[in-house]
Chain A
Amino acid sequence: MAAKLLPIGLLISALACKPPSASEQMDSAVSWVGTAGMAGEAWLRHASPDKYTRQTLELSHKSLIDIGTSLLKSLPAGIDSATVDSALARSSTHIALMAQLVEQKNSPDFRTLLDSLYADERVVKQLADSVEAKEQ
């Protein structure tokens, strides 16, 4: 009985340690950029608290940085890592600035940055589609 369980146990624990794939990470990046955008829109409409908005933007920023770091190791061949890196870095920088503007309650500059973020969003989405295509 124990002899049968051991290889199954090892298999399960090996699979449990399976890291997310590059396309899963890119989907997550798209998710966080989208989250920052939606949170930003709600704040501009005065429909959500400052603290929540700032904390969510900071969470998006941090998540994008983490994804950027771990992605560099797992990108499939044919995807330029510098392009991905700069797209994620640009998004996360914009988001970090947006978080600061929330604290300063500076809506006009926030609006400008939010529009830049939408442009970033399109780029990140395109990259995510490319990564997914290359992985298949």
Chain B
Amino acid sequence: MILQRTRPPLLETPFEVFDKGTLTPNDQFYVRWHWAVIPTDIETNKFSLAVRGHVNQPLSLSLQDILQLPRVELIAVNQCSGNSRGFFQPRVAGGEWANGAMGNALWTGVRLKDVIDKAGIKPGAVQVRFKGMDEPVVADAPSFMKSLDIEHARDGEVMIAYAMNGEQLPLLNGFPLRLIVPGWYATYWVKMLNDIEVLDQPDTNYWTKVAYTIPDTPHASIEPGQTNVRMIPISRMVPRSFVTNLSSGATVKAKVPVTLRGIAFGGDCGVAQVDISMDNGQTWRQTRLGSDESKHGFRRWETQQTFPTPGEHSFRVRCTNSNGMPQPDTPNWNPAGFMRNVVESTSIVAT
């Protein structure tokens, strides 16, 4: 793993991992924690998940209780809000990720709806707030908490996962439980989830109100130095696509078909098509898509391309999602370095 920070851990997936298959192995899945006091001794028979607040019956659920609820599973991409921040121009402060702060996994667990309905939602509930077991070193720093609107929380797709790719969650990825919010950025996928609070007022905690906000503009993009920008909480992901079998500067054979392949995801819906351009975006042709494992997962794409002349060639890859949204041709910019999804360009040398 690429070490961005030791404490609290920030670990990036080496990009070549994404060429090996659609599912990211647990021990190569990126890691991002906000606070350094992370429990490292967790006993399954002592753990409990609280469900409280604007409910009929507060609950304290053991892992056994949770394992007995109807089991569901879903393949979904988890991507950091700041994935690819290292490529922003001009540069911005924050975790200086390349493109490896993302991963795709099979999540197994229970519907969030089934857990909170067990407590009974009282009329007037507006949001559900989630907190994990990690804590800041400084006592009065804001504990990490995120919220979802009540209808979203109860949509039957938001899950509490206890397994990742068929095995229990690694500690660094949120053992024993984490929230899965398909199609939304990973900031919502609270790790070491142990507290669910149903709210009758909108959440005003720092991590909802101040942090993780984006300009309310197309592509969450503004000019550097722009002021008077209305900010809203980050939420849904946007389409992206990448070449995974060649990195920029790679050498390929000229005058014979060369395989170009990679992954794509639709953001908050599925992938409609992935196109490739050999002439800097003037013309595009479709690539062949791999099997559709999940509207929320990585989708493989592949094509053959012959480079007729030796020398440097560049090509672009563009995903259009199933809502008709394509990747933009130009990169966005915002001070936090969020939501990058520009069409990726790769240059190779044909010999």
Chains A and B are bound partners: no
Chain B: residues with CB nearer than 8 A to chain A?
Answer: none
